[in-house]
Amino acid sequence: MNFIQLAQEAEEKISKEEEKLAVRKSELDKKASEIATAIETLRLDNEALLAKKKELQAREDEVVRKESNVAKDFNAKSERIAAAGDRAEAEKARKEAKEHLDRSVQLLAELSKRELALSKRESEYRDEIKQQIASKMLGI
């Protein structure tokens, strides 16, 4: 084997290795491109998920706000119902108190009439006794 033949074999080996390296480089470039595409897809998906998360958080905040308003409305309605019940009870108590007051005024008027009648009878009785005493003294 001579030097030229060895050089040619070495060059063929180098050429084959360069072809293998070129194929390998092409495969690696293709994989790098696929990985870059996958990374970009994942980045876009992540951005979409973050946007969806923000949207869901906004919806949850809105639901919480509405639930709070519903609870406030329910409490206010309960308080209005209780107040209406209290007003009804107060009105009933007021009516009962008015009836008692009216009855008391009526009884007081009757008592005043009786007292006036008693006072009048007492006055008439005194006058009659004075007349009897005067007639007995005068001998009539």
Residue 39 CA to chain centroid, in angstroms?
46
pLDDT at 135: 83
Share of the chain above pLDDT 90, in %: 39
Predicted model pTM:
0.44
In the chain, where the domains are located? 1-114
CA-CA distance, 137 to 73, in Å (whole number)? 92
**pLDDT value, residue 133:** 83
Query: Which H or E run contains 64?
Result: helix 3-138
Q: For position 64, what pLDDT does the model report?
A: 92
